[in-house]
A and B are shown apart, each in its own frame.
Chain A
Amino acid sequence: MPEVNIYEDLSLVRRRANTVFWVIAALTFLALSFYWKVQILDHKKFSSLAEANRTRQRTLAAPRGLIRDRNGEILADNGASFKVSFIRENVKDLEASLAAVGRLLEIDGKTLRNRLEQYKDLQAFEPIVIKDGLSSEDIAPIESRRLEFPELVVDAEPRRFYPKGTLAAHVLGYLQERTPEEIRAEPGRAARAGEMVGKTGVEREYDGLLTGEDGKITEVVDSLGRVRDEKARDNAVQGGDVFLTLDHRLQAKAEEALKGREGVVVALDPETGEILALASFPTFDPNRFITRFTPTEWNQLTNDPLSPLENRAIRGLYAPGSIFKLAMSLGGLDFGYVTPETTVYCRGSTLIYGAVRHCWFAPGHGSMNLADAIKNSCNIYFYTLGQRMGIDMIAKAAGLLGLGEKTGVDLAGEKEGLVPSSEWKTRTLKTPWYLGETISVAIGQGPLQVTPLQIAALTAMIAERGNRRKRPHLFLRAPAGGKGSSAEVDGAGAEPPFKSSTFESVIEGMWRSVNDGGTGKGAFVEGLDVCGKTGSTQVISRESAERLSLAGREIKTHSWFTGFAPRDNPRIVLTVLIEYGGGGGATAAPVAGRIFELFKDIQEK
């Protein structure tokens, strides 16, 4: 190096430059060692973070199993639909995003905010469904603006569809979204937000069989959430089909017969307990509720004074009226208070316990034996019988026929009704039983309360003459496996509750009621040998009265018919209740007749 004197002395500045260079060298080394730490020592951690960054797991909702009737007819199906979910993690400015999303999807800001509030406990990366039930045309404008809305995810999902609309709505039930409370209540269950579950009916009862196994898809996404590749896919497994005991033709006929009224039709096979039709009116269209959002129709339905959502067959409590005379007859005969030949003379009214009691037929029926009394539904006969039996023996007979307890049908929410006894009254009302009350109960009035399904089960027992008692049920089979609730009644196979001859005497009366010009003649079907009994309830409960005045109805009696056919080897039990239908013989019996007619046609085919 030619360090000659002609050059100025730069040693000081060079030394300083050198020092600075060494500082830079040290900093470079520091940086390098930190890269070593991040890239080599912490590689695993950052590697999994990168993996989590680029992959997203999405649930593939499993279609529910189909619900079919006994002939395989589809009652609940699945259709295709799309839902839009919101991922909070992908948003920087939540307020601006909500405003934009609200405009895009036409959701008002309050609804959207409430929806997110509802799920605020979920992790920020979990999608929250904000709109569903969309068609492919609906989602086109959303898809075309994907880049502007990284927070939105559009998924296809199978959507429950009830092809027959309102048919058997109360049996099928409906779906609603699993609530955040329910998700929290079962932490072990792999529930996903926005999952639809059966809320009532068969959808609820057999939810476990109908629910499939959700699939899972692992996708590679970019920073804007756009899917670039698919890594792994577990396909969803559809839930198992459930075949119901219903026959859609009988069901449709039953509903047609009830149209425009409030009431119930129950048809079942007495031998097996299989429910062939179960209609409750007014009804609803379950297709309307397959959304996670409360439509205005829902509020209308829940506030409707006629309670269309209630399944009256299992939850409606009615006085049985003259139908109860069947229980009186069975008990009276079997416990020895009367014989089939015992007669009572009906003048149209009588004096019992110091009060005048009237028969519904003012001129009087004259001298009547048991079968005549059933045929004509004579009140005087049963007042007399009730007086002889006393309330506790009446309660015993009713209890043996299954009144006052649930039938155990495979539908949730069944009510048990009420069979009063002296013990019941002292226990609940703290007053003694008055003998006069017995007389009301003897003709199915007073505190007595039954559900239409209980009456159908009672009729089935009579039809089967006390043998082969089966619990009424809706589950027929599930091809993929899985059982319904047991059709066996506890203690079934034991002795029939009443003697066979007792049943025959009562059945004679029921046969004559329909086929020999009795009150049930409206249910007569040529060549089917229908046996039945009518009833008209004269008492309305306080709740009913309120409902009634709300609905602006004039007060009429409820109209009952229950019966079976044919007389020997019965194939069908039919119970009809028409609220405020007037006399049972005039309203309910002809409805039953039409359904018996169809059943006969179906049988002959």
Chain B
Amino acid sequence: MMIDRRLIREVDWVLLGLVLLHSLIGVFFIYSSSHLLAGNYYVRQLAWIGVSLVALALVLAIDYKFFVSLSIYFYGLTVALLAATLVFARFIAGTKSWITLGLMQFQPSELAKIVMILLFARLFAGYKSAYLTTRHTLFALALAGVPLVLIILQPDLGTAMTFLAIIGGAFILAGLRRKTVLLFLLAAIVVGLGGWNFGFKDYQKKRLTTLVNPLHDPRGSGYQVIQSKIAIGAGGLSGKGFMKGSQSQLRFLPARHTDFIFSVIGEEAGFMGVLAVIVLYFFMLTRMFLSVSKARDRAGVYIIFTAALLIAFQFLVNILMIIGLFPVVGITLPFISYGGSSLLTNFIACGLILNVKMRRFANV
């Protein structure tokens, strides 16, 4: 399928450039933090960037309205995949979230995020009243609840939380009444207490108590946060230099090329590096959120907003988590952390934003 020349001109190249810039910053620090490990992670990440760019181009080629119209089929497929994952996948690092497709391993829960974005866009596209009705709320919750429960069962707390962020974002946009918010809070407390007493695994409980006091369990779940904070703090203003951080090079830092890559940046590039990355990231997020005003229809607004929120939520949770302001939940830093599934998902999300933005004129 050929794309109209005019459409290519309308692509937000600045945003795409920012995404690629972050991906390259990621490759640098993936190299720094994993060059001692076997497996050439930076090469693999570069390959994934390539794959993700192709995927992004494919997303751009098709009008987002087409995706939205198909979203209910995507949804069915995803639920089936998640269910299959739960049944067939083997445990990797304590969870059943990976399925193997040929040579590649993939997390269907990542794909589910994109599907939720499209599904909500479809669900709320024609919803014009100022506030959500109870019926609509319950229907949306029921739809989102099925994949969410499947993800919680894996168990993958990080992805489940991201999922909740998307649902919450869509609801906020659709308009939540104060009493609905209160009801949600009440439900959250009940579910939370129930979960704490019956559902949560011990490691998850530990992570929460560790947030309050990391020294409570310095060798266990507190270890990661302590080492991460040490790495960041030791970086100081200008950092220890590329590939010179003792915390990451001597392997005190856990998951340093994935979830904790920003700690490596903090240690090796210092506060100046942290400031630069956060400012750039914020610039990128701003550009994504500002695109909301470019969407020509309600579905587009929902797509841009939930996709931007998806990236912003992961970014915030990650940078707060590695410095001890949020429990360690296994959420990566989008575009920068190592990991194919996450990279692909975030590129597709970005592709959706670009897609909506470039098709902003009604007569196209």
Question: Which chain A residues have a beta carbon within 8 Å of chain B's beta carbons?
Answer: 1-2, 4, 6-8, 10, 12-14, 16-18, 20-21, 24-25, 27-28, 31-32, 34-36, 38-40, 42-43, 45-47, 49-51, 53-54, 92, 220-224, 228
Contacts and interface: CB of A to CB of B under 8 A. Distances in A.
A38 B298 contact: no
A35 B318 CA distance: 13
Band of interface residues on B: 35 or more
B271 interface: yes
Given A7-B362, A34-B325, A39 B270 contact: yes
Given A39-B237, A45-B233, A46-B234, A223 B305 contact: no
Interface in B137-189: 169, 172-175
Contacts of A92: 219-220
B111 to A, nearest CB: 24
A39 B282 contact: no
21 contacts: A7-B362, A12-B175, A14-B293, A17-B305, A24-B316, A32-B278, A34-B320, A35-B275, A35-B319, A38-B232, A45-B233, A46-B232, A46-B233, A47-B233, A47-B236, A50-B231, A50-B234, A53-B250, A221-B250, A224-B251, A228-B250
Contacts of A28: 278, 281-282, 285, 316
Output the residue of B172, B292, B295, B297 with the most chain A CB within 10 A. B292
B229 interface: yes
A291 B45 CA distance: 55
A54 B233 contact: no
A541 to B, nearest CB: 61
A43 B237 contact: yes
Nearest to A32: B278
B250 A7 contact: no
A223 B128 CA distance: 57
Q: Which of B220, B232, B282, B309 has the most CB of A within 10 A?
A: B232
A43 B266 CA distance: 12
Interface of B: 128, 130, 169, 172-175, 219-220, 227, 229-237, 246-247, 250-252, 266, 270-271, 274-275, 278, 281-282, 285-286, 289, 292-293, 295-298, 301-302, 305, 308-309, 312, 316, 319-320, 323, 325, 361-362
A53 B128 CA distance: 58
B236 A31 contact: no
Contacts of B230: 46, 49-50, 53
Contacts of A54: 246-247, 250, 252
Given A8-B297, A20-B169, A47-B236, A39 B362 contact: no
Given A24-B312, A39-B233, A222 B251 contact: yes
Report, nearest first, the 3 A-B pairs whose CB atoms are least far apart.
Answer: A46-B233, A50-B234, A222-B250
A188 to B, nearest CB: 31
A10 B301 contact: yes
A35 B320 CA distance: 9
A602 B308 CA distance: 100
A462 B30 CA distance: 89
Nearest to B232: A38
A34 B227 CA distance: 16
Greatest chain A CB density within 10 A among B227, B250, B301 is at B250
Contacts of B128: 8
Nearest to B247: A50
Contact of B251 (A31, A45, A220, A223): A223
Nearest to A27: B316
Contacts of B169: 20
> Which of A17, A31, A220, A223 has the most chain B CB atoms inside 10 A of its CB?
A17
A221 to B, nearest CB: 7
A39 B17 CA distance: 29
A16 B175 contact: yes
